[in-house]
């Protein structure tokens, strides 16, 4: 059995622990590898190497760092087919979707290539007579990233390219469910000329995460995953005096207004609810049907959900692949059972599909619920599978109220032809990322990604200028050069006049 290890100090490194976890190909249900789970001492050793590498990397001119990152971008492009196939083989999503996610990660690498410009500080001549002042942003030290299973390339790439461009060194702990992609990216970064120890990957579970949280040489932690773990990371990183951004789960609502182009809304919802089998933090899992649009929306959706092409990710005809693990498949199916018990109307039931030749794969078809209510668990909780709930409300204000009262606040969209409605929605909604006639409003790399409420703990979003701020600290220098005679001591607060 293929054993996946760690990447520390520029090379594949064996872990000291005997603990492993199984890695599956969700399309076939077969185990394809074991991944070693790092012990605390493995993690500490990766941090030590990263700490050593920081001394030289942090003083390397940003333009030189940018050249290595540019080379890294070229190597990702050259090796994209291999990386995409790694994503498909361990996560299950379809090839084109995996390709799209890699491209979105690559955009952050492209953004990081502009680091000499992004790190330019501010300068004021004569803040007082003959006194100048300037502000610079300096790297933090060793930063850590802890990432979820659903985007094995893109989510780590929200973090490490920018952190490293800013002059930090990095230890990434990817999801143990699909660990191969991170190792491949680390190998390519080394090939691009990145010095040993600047980017390290440790595979592991809670033990590795706790080792990152408690090691005094970790300066900052970026986390993406479910809300309970995000909260745990936020609290424990802060307790150990680390800077932290912890992105959590989601329940995204798509408002369908009576005046919208219904076909456009239905197509948008299909991709946003069932793409990647619903395993996206920006998946639209609730359609809010406003006024009279409900029946038309449900009828059109039902036809499309019934004809969704479910199959292995490498089959060009598949629109939706399997779920990541058998356990997750059972969890999602169980939510559908709960929805039925709670009294929601199951319009399309995808629980029992069987795929010839792939009987052991972790597949289910799309499910569609109508008449879902606010009190139901299928409305309140994140299902993270191909299950779309339709909630009917009487008007626009009721839709806004519903969304604002939900505990999650990652993304939302509205379909309407009325500009004023779209604008009012964007202004009043308590959500971090908003789409107007856009089904999945994931910000591009030079804007920033992040939710509100229980979808993000911390102050700064990922990538864009927020990312640069997160991975650097501000220093302001005030300076005066003597003009000959020494001045008398001053015992009052200097006002620089």
Which positions lie near ligand NAD, rule CB under 6 A?
146-151, 155, 173, 175-176, 205-206, 209, 224-226, 229, 247-250, 281, 382, 384, 410, 451, 455
Specify the residue, 157 or 293, whose C-beta has the smaller distance to ligand NAD.
Answer: 157
Round to whole Å and give the CA distance between 142 and 33. 30
Among 181, 254, 260, 281, which one carries the catalytic annotation? 281
Least distance between ligand NAD and beta carbon 317 (Å): 27
Closest residue (Cβ) to ligand NAD?
Answer: 225
Least distance between ligand NAD and beta carbon 279 (Å): 7
Bridge partners, 354 (sequence order): none
Specify the residue, 148 or 361, whose C-beta has the smaller distance to ligand NAD.
Answer: 148
Element housing 211 (H / E): helix 206-214
CB 47 within 8 A of CB 217: yes
DSSP 38-103: --HHHHHHHHHHHHHHHHHHTTS-HHHHHHHHHHHHHHHHHTHHHHHHHHHHHH---HHHHHHHHH
Least distance between ligand NAD and beta carbon 203 (Å): 9
Round to whole Å and give the CA distance between 115 and 110. 10
CB 225 within 8 A of CB 148: yes
Least distance between ligand NAD and beta carbon 391 (Å): 19
Least distance between ligand NAD and beta carbon 229 (Å): 4
Element housing 298 (H / E): helix 294-306
Specify the residue, 384 or 425, whose C-beta has the smaller distance to ligand NAD.
Answer: 384
Round to whole Å and give the CA distance between 324 and 329. 7
Round to whole Å and give the CA distance between 342 and 331. 16
Specify the residue, 166 or 250, whose C-beta has the smaller distance to ligand NAD.
Answer: 250
Nearby residues of 435 by Cβ (< 8 Å), 6 or more positions away: 411, 412, 413, 414, 441
- How would you write 334-374 as a 3-class SS string? HHHHHHHHHCCEEEECCCCCCCCCCCCCCCCCCEEEECCCC
Least distance between ligand NAD and beta carbon 450 (Å): 7
- How would you write 401-449 as a 3-class SS string? HHHHHCCEECEEEEECCCHHHHHHHHHHCCCCEEEECCCCCCCCCCCCE
Specify the residue, 108 or 146, whose C-beta has the smaller distance to ligand NAD.
Answer: 146
Tell me whether residue 113 is one of the annotated catalytic residues: no
Specify the residue, 147 or 284, whose C-beta has the smaller distance to ligand NAD.
Answer: 147
Instruction: Cite the active site residues.
Output: 281
């Amino acid at each position: 059995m293929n054993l996946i290890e760690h990447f520390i100090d520029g090379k594949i490194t064996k872990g000291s622990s005997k603990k492993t976890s199984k890695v599956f190909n969700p399309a076939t249900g077969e185990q394809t590898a074991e991944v070693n789970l790092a012990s605390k001492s493995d993690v500490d050793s990766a941090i030590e190497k990263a700490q050593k590498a920081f001394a030289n990397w942090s003083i390397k001119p940003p333009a030189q760092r940018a050249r290595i990152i540019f080379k890294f971008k070229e190597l990702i492009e050259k090796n994209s087919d291999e990386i995409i196939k790694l994503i498909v083989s361990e996560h299950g999503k379809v090839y084109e979707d995996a390709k799209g996610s890699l491209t979105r990660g690559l955009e952050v690498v492209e953004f990081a290539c502009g680091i000499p410009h992004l790190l330019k500080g501010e300068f004021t001549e004569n803040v007082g007579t003959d006194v100048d002042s300037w502000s610079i942003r300096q790297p933090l030290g060793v930063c850590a990233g802890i990432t979820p299973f659903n985007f094995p390339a893109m989510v780590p790439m929200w973090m490490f390219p920018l952190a490293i461009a800013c002059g930090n060194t990095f230890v990434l702990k990817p999801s143990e469910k699909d660990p191969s992609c991170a190792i491949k990216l680390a190998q390519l970064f080394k090939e691009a000329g990145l010095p040993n120890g600047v980017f390290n990957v440790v595979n592991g579970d809670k033990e590795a995460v706790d080792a990152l949280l408690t090691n005094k040489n970790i300066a900052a932690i970026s986390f993406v995953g479910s809300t309970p773990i995000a909260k745990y990371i936020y609290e424990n990183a802060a307790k150990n005096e680390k800077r932290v951004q912890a992105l959590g789960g989601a329940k995204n609502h798509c408002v369908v207004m009576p005046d919208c182009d219904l076909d456009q809304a239905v197509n948008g919802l299909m991709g946003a609810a069932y793409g990647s089998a619903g395993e996206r933090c920006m998946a639209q899992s609730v359609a809010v049907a406003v006024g009279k649009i409900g029946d038309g929306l449900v009828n059109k959706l039902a036809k499309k959900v019934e004809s969704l092409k479910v199959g292995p990710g490498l089959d060009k005809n598949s629109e939706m692949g399997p779920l990541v693990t058998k356990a997750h498949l059972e969890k999602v199916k169980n939510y559908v059972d709960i929805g039925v018990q709670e009294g929601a109307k199951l319009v399309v039931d995808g629980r029992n599909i069987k795929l010839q030749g792939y009987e052991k794969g972790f597949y289910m078809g799309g499910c569609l619920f109508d008449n879902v209510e606010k009190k139901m668990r299928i409305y309140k909780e994140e299902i993270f599978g191909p299950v779309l709930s339709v909630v009917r409300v009487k008007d626009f204000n009721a839709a806004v109220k519903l969304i604002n009262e939900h505990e999650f606040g990652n993304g939302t969209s509205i379909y309407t032809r009325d500009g004023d409605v779209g604008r009012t929605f964007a202004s009043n909604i308590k959500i971090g990322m908003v789409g107007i006639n856009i089904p999945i409003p994931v910000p591009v790399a030079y804007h920033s990604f992040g939710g509100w409420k229980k979808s993000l703990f911390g102050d700064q979003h990922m990538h864009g200028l927020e990312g640069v701020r997160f991975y650097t600290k501000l220093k302001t220098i005030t300076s005066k050069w003597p003009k000959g005679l020494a001045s008398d001591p001053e015992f009052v607060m200097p006002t620089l006049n």
